[in-house]
Amino acid sequence: MSSAEIPVDPLALELCALSKTFKLGGGMLHKSRTLKAVNDVSLRVPRGQVMGLVGESGCGKSTLAKMLLGLTPPSAGDVLINGKAIVNANQKALARHIQPIFQDPYSSLNPRQRIAQIVGLPLRIHAIGTPKEQAVKVEEMLELVGLPKRAAQQYPGQMSGGQRQRVAIARALIMRPDLVICDEPTSALDVSVQAQILNLLLDLKDEFGLTYLFISHDLAVVEHLADRLAVMYLGQIVEEGTREQIFTAPRHPYTQALLASALTPEPGLGVPDIGLGAGQPDPTQPPSGCAFHPRCPVAQPTCSQQAPTLSAIAQTSAQATRHGNQARVACHFA
């Protein structure tokens, strides 16, 4: 599934300078602080591809997902789905095009409803078909995600994590959306179940011609799934490129560290030392210049003064001409 063969246009999803700022605290006595959870993010997701979005906890991945789903209004910038801006769009109209699969299958299903009710909810809310047709569709969908028929009458509490995630997938796909936001859909699952769910997601993608925005902090999962990859740090995208580009030749020091931090199954190697020092800085007081410079192993004096822009990497002839292979990185020295 090399990205090179797939035409770049039309884009399923485009983010234009998207930002989200939260005001924290702020009472009579102390000033409120602002948190730039998502800071000027621009990203293009071609139709039919899987865009992986990686980054450590708290880098703004989930806030980004919420904005895409219309759950949080962006502070600035635009989200375009199929070329149309979603700001001020009707939530129901938006829901037809974009659906979420959440991280925790234990909290993403209402424990008081039967599986048939949960999966059929989108059809009921959008008044698609008669109750009978809806029931048929629910049954089809459950079969597609590999659940037995009797699952329809069960409650989420009677199911395993993997089964629940299948239910969540069925709910997300029953209205045939174009775009699915997968917010760490496997991180709450057993390793043995993760692979099943990932393969199911890939099968369904081919079946329905879906586009995925796949948010994860698990690089192994992303490597398995993603066509393209964007790396986020403190609310900004620091590197973007195809899977091959990112995994074989990461340019940004943060991406390099992230890849180095992946644990190997090899015993005796221990936990890799990635030389990033302590955790990421307080996002309410981001460092000057390049946000990564306090932790960067190759930081220079300019890094703390001047913020690098996310710019295209000059590439060798044949590759560089294809927009689909366009790689971008935000580092002075990449």
Amino acid letter for position 78: D
190 binds another protein (CB under 8 A): yes
Nearer to another protein, 53 or 109 (CB): 109
39 binds another protein (CB under 8 A): no
Residue indicated by tokens 């698609």: 128
Per-residue x/- track, 88-117, another protein (CB under 8 A): --xxxxxx--xxx-xxx-xxxxxxxx----
Token reading at 91: 């939530």
Q: Segment 167-186, which members bind another protein (CB under 8 A)?
A: 168, 171
125 binds another protein (CB under 8 A): yes
CB neighbour class for 268 (10 Å; exposed up to 12, middle 13-18, buried from 19): exposed
CB neighbour class for 14 (10 Å; exposed up to 12, middle 13-18, buried from 19): buried
Token reading at 146: 């590999």
The answer to whether residues 173 and 146 touch, using CB atoms and an 8 Å cutoff, is: no
195 binds another protein (CB under 8 A): no
Decide the pairing of beta strands 236-242 and 311-312.
unpaired
The answer to whether residues 96 and 126 touch, using CB atoms and an 8 Å cutoff, is: yes
Dihedral angle, C-alpha 124, 126, 130, 136, nearest 10 °: -70
The SS3 assignment for 231 reads strand
Is the peptide bond between 148 and the residue preceding it cis, with omega within 30 degrees of 0?
A: no
The SS3 assignment for 6 reads coil
Binding test (CB under 8 A) with another protein, winner from 34, 146, 155, 224: 155
Least distance from C-beta 31 to another protein, angstroms?
19
**What are the phi and psi torsion angles at 174 (to 5°)?**
-65, -25
Nearer to another protein, 125 or 220 (CB): 125
12 binds another protein (CB under 8 A): no
CB under 8 A: which stretch of 4-12, 42-50, 84-92, 237-245 binds another protein?
84-92
Of the candidates 202, 225, 204, 205, which has an alpha carbon nearest to the alpha carbon of residue 215? Answer: 225
Nearer to another protein, 100 or 250 (CB): 100
CB under 8 A: which stretch of 10-18, 139-147, 153-161, 210-218 binds another protein?
153-161
Least distance from C-beta 333 to another protein, angstroms?
40
Nearer to another protein, 187 or 261 (CB): 187
How far is it, in rounded angstroms, from Cα 311 to Cα 320?
13
Least distance from C-beta 224 to another protein, angstroms?
22
Binding test (CB under 8 A) with another protein, winner from 160, 288, 300, 309: 160
Binding test (CB under 8 A) with another protein, winner from 2, 32, 130, 158: 158
73 binds another protein (CB under 8 A): no
Number of residues that bind another protein (CB under 8 A): 38
Geometric angle at alpha carbon 122, from 121 and 126, rounded to 5°: 115
Nearer to another protein, 109 or 232 (CB): 109
Q: Segment 205-234, which members bind another protein (CB under 8 A)?
A: none
Nearer to another protein, 18 or 181 (CB): 181
Show Cβ contacts of residue 227 under 8 Å, excluding neighbours closer than 6 positions. 1, 2, 3, 6, 49, 50, 51, 242, 243
Applying CB under 8 A, the residues found at the interface with another protein are 66, 69-71, 90-95, 98-100, 102-104, 106-113, 118, 121-122, 125-126, 155, 157-158, 160-161, 168, 171, 188, 190
